[in-house]
């Protein structure tokens, strides 16, 4: 099989990129957000947790956890968070970093994921209109709307963050939602698909490589579909400052792919590359960097 079935150059931006996404978001807006929120006893003394759901793409229910510091005054900055491949929204008490830092934290459950789910990359892979990630990015755009409408939140201080799959989603949302304070993408998946297919040694890109080995005649349609959601395409339309990071030994999302997104990024961008690190990128050090970044961006004037 050709190790680079989509070539080696980043995918071009489709001519109808803006109208494609405007239509997708408009379709979803036909459905009221219908936010449902219930307090959850998570056994935490200083963090409040809420089980949240809302209507996303095609009106489907999308689940999320909302976490906030229990003792809060005034409107909080909010972090909207997308997770890695298969993770969903995880457990209510997972990842308390952002709420412990004093922010509202809305972690969105990636539709259909949670547990050992696989194969999502291939859903609708030959049709942009039915692509799995078209729906997921619309879901997350809607999650930002939900966050901005929360009574406890300052709608002008919103950041989008994500790791791996969530990093690619964060870049996608950053291209479509105006007024974000920051976009943080750690080891972003869905980014520079041609290069990723040639270099990745583990992870979801191998699902697509196997598919193209079986269906080489689908390569052009696959490239077209991915071009709407690829992190490089998203980076070309960025408006919020971006902070990207990668591990130089990452075999799932090779660092070359994150570098391509940083090179294409249309707004101010910072790229941190961690020598010797794999898909965890900088791990704890990266998270410290993210906290510093959010503190700076949330305190800055809009």
Catalytic residue among 48, 192, 250, 286: 250
Q: Catalytic: 250?
A: yes
Catalytic residue among 81, 95, 131, 164: 164
Spatial contact of 77 and 103, defined as CB atoms under 8 Å apart = yes
Q: Catalytic: 117?
A: no
Residue 61: left if φ>0, alpha if ψ -120 to 50, beta else—which one?
beta
Cα atoms in the Cβ-side hemisphere of radius 13 Å centred on 29: 8
- The set of residues, in sequence order, having a beta carbon less than 8 Å from that of 130 and lying 6+ positions away, is 123, 124
Question: By C-alpha distance, which of 175, 170, 172 is closest to 186?
Answer: 170
Helices 132-149 and 17-29 pack at an angle, to 10 degrees, of 60
Catalytic residue among 105, 120, 279, 289: 279
Dig out the tokens for 258 from the structure: 């994150």
CA distances from residue 210 to 2, 4, 134, 214, 248 in whole angstroms, order as listed? 11, 12, 22, 6, 25
Question: By C-alpha distance, which of 214, 222, 268 is closest to 127?
Answer: 222
Q: Catalytic: 279?
A: yes
CA distances from residue 302 to 170, 173, 238, 241 in whole angstroms, order as listed? 20, 19, 16, 12
Question: By C-alpha distance, which of 146, 160, 155 is closest to 36?
Answer: 146
Q: What are the catalytic residues?
A: 164, 250, 279
């Amino acid at each position: 099989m050709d190790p680079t079935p989509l070539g080696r150059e980043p995918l071009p931006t489709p001519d109808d990129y803006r109208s494609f996404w405007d239509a997708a978001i408009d379709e979803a807006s036909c459905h009221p957000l219908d936010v449902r929120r219930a307090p959850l006893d998570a056994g935490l003394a200083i963090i409040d947790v809420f089980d949240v759901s809302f209507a996303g793409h095609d009106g489907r229910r999308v689940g999320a956890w909302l976490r906030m510091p229990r003792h809060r005054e005034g409107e909080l900055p909010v972090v909207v968070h997308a997770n890695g491949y298969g993770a969903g929204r995880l457990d209510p008490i997972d990842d308390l970093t952002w709420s412990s830092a004093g922010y509202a934290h809305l972690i969105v459950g990636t539709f259909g994921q949670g547990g050992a789910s696989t194969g999502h990359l291939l859903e609708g892979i030959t049709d942009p209109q039915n692509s799995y990630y078209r729906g997921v990015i619309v879901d997350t755009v809607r999650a930002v709307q939900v966050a901005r409408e929360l009574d406890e939140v300052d709608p002008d201080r919103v950041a989008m963050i994500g790791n791996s799959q969530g990093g690619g989603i964060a870049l996608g949302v950053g291209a479509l939602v105006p007024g974000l304070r920051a976009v943080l993408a750690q080891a972003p998946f869905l980014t520079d698909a041609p290069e990723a297919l040639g270099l990745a040694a583990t992870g979801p890109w191998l699902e697509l490589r196997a598919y193209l080995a079986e269906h080489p005649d689908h390569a052009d349609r696959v490239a077209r579909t991915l071009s709407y959601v690829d992190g490089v395409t998203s980076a070309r339309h960025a408006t919020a400052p971006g902070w990207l990071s990668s591990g130089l030994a990452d075999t799932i999302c090779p660092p070359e792919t994150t570098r391509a997104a940083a090179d294409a990024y249309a707004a101010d961008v910072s790229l941190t590359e961690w020598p010797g690190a794999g898909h965890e990128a900088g791990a704890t050090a990266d998270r410290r960097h993210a906290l510093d970044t959010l503190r700076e961006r949330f305190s800055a004037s809009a």
